[in-house]
Each structure stands twice: as structure tokens, then as C-alpha cells.
Structure 1
């Protein structure tokens, strides 16, 4: 994964008021920590940071006040629930050659080629240990040749070179199930409506008996 260069400014003001002022100025408050160093509070350019963090596990080269860049990974990103803008970022300092534990998205290929079956995902991401400078953007799973009842476990994944799954090899990733026919969907809907109708009539009958 390519490094994204981000210029940063050291922050000397802290608290909610200072954070709001930084956001109004188009900056994102952030903290840089790791490798035994004291946490460093910085401000990042809002637009550049938003673009960089559209990629999972983006590797950032943070240059504070023009100093030599430090490599860092976003560990926690706080977003505005309405606007989607980034409000705060926790950045973990990493070194070249160092292995880190990251959550990598799982991407399914070929799921739309067989309309008679569906892919049941047991998890949407997978934890991998990989070199900080070689973190895969995603792990792809091709289900084109799978039949109903087949499944994929962690040991079946084609992991990028250097990446290791630290969990159990038999951990379930996904399975293939038969897609419901329209007749099955209609029957389940009718049963649900009938059950709801029975539930509504019972209190009325009880009230009538009480009279």
C-alpha cells in the first residue's frame, strides 16, 4: 500500500473548544502515539485526511511542522454521524518491516453469477498480521465455483504474501445457501400475516368471554 503524505501542525491548545476551532478552520484534531513515545497532538488538513482515510488501513507519512515524516496507521476514526466528516483521528506510529495487527475487508467475487444461491458471510473483515508497509487493501474470495452447502474457512483464503491469519484455521468465513424462491417468500409472508391476525383476535375473544 502506497504511503500518503500528510502535513501536520503541532497543537498547543486542547479541549472541546480548541477542537471546534480547528474543525472550523478545516483541520482535523489528531493524536500520534506508539513505540514508547509521548502522545503528540496535531492538526491535519481536513480534505486531504478525508481522502486518505477512504481506504482501509491507509499508511500515512505524517510530517509535523516540516520535520521528517513518521509512518502511522489510523487506529480510531471519529466521524460526524450526519455530515460524515472526520472529527478526530488516533494514529499509531509504525516502523518499516514491523508487523502489525489490522482488520482487512473481505471482498466476494462472483456472487451475482448464480442467482439460485446466496453467500452467507460469517464476518465482513478478517484480522491479519502483516508488515506495516505491505498491508493488503482487501482479501478477495471467488465463490463462482462453489455449490450450495459449500463453505470457506480461514485456511482456504488466498492471503497476500507476508500476511498471516493469527486465528484458528477452521474459523468459518462464509457459506453458500440456496436462495429462497418467490413461492417460499410468499408462503412465509402469508404465515406471518396469519400469525399476526391470530395474536390480535385472542385479546378480543378473551374480553368477550369476560363480559
Structure 2
């Protein structure tokens, strides 16, 4: 389970692109905290601490606002700079102990399939409904000994206690196949194609 991490936030009063740019230059990240009927709170978060915290998938965060108010939250949307990959903005959802929320959880592959086969991960994450204070960092799919043609669906994965699937149980997660060369994938070899052309030419000659 993801650890609970604490972030010191400050109320944000300046808005607009210019204000957001100045905030980021000061190694702070603009954020909004919302949920449970509360008015959205516009905040700034410490840049380095936030980046480190959000390396943990579905991390449970304690947001300390202006050194006084504590709110439990999870990151619902993280906007990143497409070039620098730094965080530009974070949407935080307020959560309460005991409630369940829907989250996307990464899928990790363990084990090795049968010799000569490869695994194809069709979906790298799975949507589940889980307790907000016990969100898993990842789900495991075990492929040990699986043969060509074998597959695992969402319903085949073992979920943490208290969690349940939020999406289609028939969703394909992984399947096993045997890699084939380009020549094997082609319907015919160049030599076979040449023979076919020769046969076709002979047929045309006979018709004449």
C-alpha cells in the first residue's frame, strides 16, 4: 500500500499564466484541492517534495494548508511539461477514511512464460474501486509457465482485500505468443512468388 505523505501547502491568491509561471520559477506547483462539497481551494505545493511524493502511484497525501488545516487527498490529475516532464499543475481530491474511490492502478508482470514465448501486456493499468486510505501501488499478474495462446483477464488478477473491479472483468490484460520472423508472417516467399508468376505466364502462353 502507498504510504501517507505530508505536503505543506500555501493558499494561492494570484492567478493567470503569469502568476503560474512565477510560481513554478519559485519551485512551487499550482494545485487545486476539491471534493466532499468543499469549495475548491487553490494552493501551491513544494516542487521537489511533490515530485517525490507523486512517484508513488495513488499515494495518500496529507495536505497541510497554511500550517494549520490537514486534509487527506489523492492526486486525480497531474499535468506535466511535455518536454521537461516537470509538474505544471495538480488536481487533488479530498478523501475520507472508510470511503471507496475509483483509481487506475499499474499492472506489474512477474515470472517467465514458457521458453520461446513472449508476453504482450495489452493494458498496463486496471481500474478498481478501493478504500481511499488503502490504495494499492500496483497489481501483479503472474505469467510463470504460461504457454502460447494463454491469456489473463481483469477478473483473473488478485485484488487487495476490500477492493473490487470498476471496469470490464473481461478486459484483456496479458497474452502469450511466439515471436515470428518477417518471412514467416509473409504469405509467400519471393521464390514462391516468382514461381507463381512463371506459372501464370505459361498459362497465358497456352491460351494464345
Q: Unmatched 5+ residue regions in structure 1?
A: 194-211
Shift of 1:88: 0.5
Shift of 1:69: 1.3
Contact in 2 for aligned 1:115/1:179 (Cα 8 Å):
no
Which one has the largest radius of gyration?
2
Partner of 1:75: 76
Partner of 2:32: 31
TM-score by length of 1: 0.83
| 1:11-52 Cα shifts (integer Å, max 9, x gaps) | 111111111111111100000000011100000000000101
When structure 1 is superposed on structure 2, of 129-138 and 66-75 the one drifting more is 66-75
When structure 1 is superposed on structure 2, of 32-41 and 153-162 the one drifting more is 153-162
Aligned length in residues: 190
Partner of 1:62: 63
Shift of 1:68: 3.0
Partner of 1:7: 8
Query: In structure 2, how many angstroms separate the alpha carbons of the residues matched to 1:106 and 1:187?
Result: 31
When structure 1 is superposed on structure 2, of 52-61 and 32-41 the one drifting more is 52-61
Partner of 1:95: 96
Shift of 1:122: 2.3
| 1:162-194 Cα shifts (integer Å, max 9, x gaps) | 1100333333221111122xxx235558x899x
Query: In structure 1, how many angstroms separate the alpha carbons of the residues matched to 2:68 and 2:189?
Result: 65
- Considering fraction of residues, name the structure with more helix: 1
| 1:96-121 Cα shifts (integer Å, max 9, x gaps) | 1110000000111124x645111122
